[in-house]
Chain A
Amino acid sequence: MERTTLDLWVGIFVVGGIAALVMLAMKVGNLGTYNVSEAYQVHAYFSNIGGLKPKASIKSAGVLVGRVTDISLDMERYEARVTMSLDKRYQFPKDTAAKILTSGLLGEQYIGFDVGGDEAMLKNGDELKMTQSAVVLEDLIGKFIYSKAEGSTN
């Protein structure tokens, strides 16, 4: 086949387009930072998850260690069952506690790990026993008003 400058331009166009896609995937998206294949699953029950959503981040000491993969309501306990996928590189003791936290006042909710002191490490399919639910702003305000009202009657 004869090579023409037209082919060169079309080549530049196609390569540029694919490069843009790769750039979007790696630099803008999360394909470069988060790999599902090297992960293990654990789950935990929360009485209230607030605004937690699938794909929310899981952080330990502020470092991203995994993501929430699934949220469902357990029909025996009437609690939220949150499945998490954690990076294989990070191992946590069995008595690690999971807390639902908020980044900033109005930011996204995420799960923070408080690392325990157990010798045994979490394995695939384990449950995190100690959890702390999300702080619901309405409850907080309600409590505050209630205590104020109580205080003022005395």
Chain B
Amino acid sequence: MPVAKNLRSIGRRVVSAVWRVGLATRFFLLTLAYSGTSFRRFHLTIKELFSTGVMSLIIIIVAGLFVGMVLGLQGYETLKRYGSESALGVMVALGLVRELGPVVAALLFASRAGSAMTAEIGLMKATEQITAMEMMAVNPIARIVAPRFWAGVISMPLLAAMFSAVGVFGGYFVGVIQIGVDEGSFWSQMQAAVDFREDILNGVIKSFVFGTVVTVIALFEGYDAPPTAEGVSGATTRTVVTSSLAILMLDFILTAIMFRGN
């Protein structure tokens, strides 16, 4: 019976997916429970901040600049038709602060820092470093996972803010310096339309949520990876795919909650 067989394999996949969600949640709660070390010995977290945050700086800044420049160019072409080029600043800033900053920065973060985290922890597991740590009576979740988690959670909003800030300058560069939109109206209309609480803080909250989710997925996939070369490479791919999907879905949900009725 091929139909029954297919149904059964679908069912099995669904069950195992739900199972993994449960496992990941327990892993997340364990990480929170064992987070004391990350703050008591903050230099552990600082070390991870370097490899997640600082190492992602260049890609975030370059990407932010170009995204802002594209927004400036496209926005100008569209707004010109309605004679409202002066709203270019509004368009660039709102697009970046509300959506593109948090989302694109999180996607880049997932593929730059998230995949590196998964590969590193997966390899640590494959080379028995995690078992070794357990045998030394040191909890690997407290010592390895939690500092990386907090580094991810802290760096994501900062990276998203830098992405948006650089992007606004990219839009300014193309719109004002290259094309010649009026500088005064570019900034003043932007300031009039972008609200600190409504737009900027909500963007920060978004990137905070994305940072948490991406980091948990990356760490869980690494910790859960089969200790082989294929296991680690598969886990790395899954980190990028799963966290990208999670970012986009969560973005829709958060946007619906935050900006409804405006």
**A residues with CB within 8 A of B:** 1, 6-7, 9-10, 12-14, 16-21, 23-25, 27-33, 53, 55, 57, 64, 104, 106-107
Q: Which residues does chain B contribute within 8 Å of A106, judged by CB atoms?
A: 82, 84
Find B165's partner among A23, A31, A33, A55 (CB 8 Å cutoff): A23
The answer to whether B194 touches A30 (Cβ under 8 A) is yes
C-alpha spacing A56/B112, complex, angstroms: 41
Taken residue by residue from 171 to 197, chain B's Cβ proximity to chain A (1 for < 8 Å, 0 otherwise) reads as: 000000000000000010011101110
The answer to whether B158 touches A16 (Cβ under 8 A) is yes
Find A53's partner among B53, B54, B262 (CB 8 Å cutoff): B262
Q: Which residues does chain A contribute within 8 Å of B159, judged by CB atoms?
A: 17
**B97, CB-defined interface residue at 8 Å:** yes
CB distance from A1 to the nearest CB of B (A): 8
Q: Which residues does chain A contribute within 8 Å of B199, judged by CB atoms?
A: 29
Find A10's partner among B50, B84, B204, B262 (CB 8 Å cutoff): B50
The answer to whether B164 touches A13 (Cβ under 8 A) is no
C-alpha spacing A1/B156, complex, angstroms: 27
CB distance from A57 to the nearest CB of B (A): 6
The answer to whether B200 touches A17 (Cβ under 8 A) is no
CB distance from B262 to the nearest CB of A (A): 7
Known contacts A17-B158, A24-B165, A30-B191; is-contact A10 B196 (Cβ 8 Å): no
In the complex, besides A16-B158, A28-B97, 4 extra interface pairs with C-beta distance below 8 angstroms are A21-B157, A21-B161, A24-B164, A28-B190
CB distance from B69 to the nearest CB of A (A): 16
Find B196's partner among A20, A29, A104 (CB 8 Å cutoff): A29
CB distance from A15 to the nearest CB of B (A): 9
The answer to whether A12 touches B54 (Cβ under 8 A) is yes
C-alpha spacing A29/B155, complex, angstroms: 22
Find B57's partner among A7, A13, A53, A104 (CB 8 Å cutoff): A13
Q: Which residues does chain A contribute within 8 Å of B47, judged by CB atoms?
A: 6
The answer to whether B50 touches A6 (Cβ under 8 A) is yes
The answer to whether A55 touches B49 (Cβ under 8 A) is no
Known contacts A27-B187, A30-B196; is-contact A20 B46 (Cβ 8 Å): no
Known contacts A6-B47, A10-B50; is-contact A25 B158 (Cβ 8 Å): no
The answer to whether A29 touches B84 (Cβ under 8 A) is no
**Which residue on A lies nearest to B43, using beta carbons?**
A1
The answer to whether A30 touches B57 (Cβ under 8 A) is no
The answer to whether A10 touches B46 (Cβ under 8 A) is yes
Residue contacts A-B, CB under 8 angstroms, 12 given = A10-B50, A16-B57, A18-B158, A21-B157, A21-B158, A24-B200, A27-B168, A28-B168, A29-B195, A32-B191, A55-B198, A57-B192
C-alpha spacing A141/B49, complex, angstroms: 61
C-alpha spacing A9/B55, complex, angstroms: 10
CB distance from B132 to the nearest CB of A (A): 24
C-alpha spacing A53/B193, complex, angstroms: 12
**Which residue on B lies nearest to A12, using beta carbons?**
B54
**B250, CB-defined interface residue at 8 Å:** no
The answer to whether A13 touches B161 (Cβ under 8 A) is no
The answer to whether A13 touches B54 (Cβ under 8 A) is yes
**Which residue on A lies nearest to B166, using beta carbons?**
A20
**Which residues of B46-95 are within 8 A (CB) of A?**
46-47, 49-50, 53-54, 57, 82-84, 93
CB distance from B185 to the nearest CB of A (A): 11
**Which residues of B140-160 are within 8 A (CB) of A?**
154-155, 157-159
CB distance from B157 to the nearest CB of A (A): 7
The answer to whether B162 touches A16 (Cβ under 8 A) is yes
CB distance from A31 to the nearest CB of B (A): 4
Q: Which residues does chain A contribute within 8 Å of B83, judged by CB atoms?
A: 104
The answer to whether A20 touches B162 (Cβ under 8 A) is yes
The answer to whether B200 touches A20 (Cβ under 8 A) is no
Find B84's partner among A9, A20, A28, A107 (CB 8 Å cutoff): A107
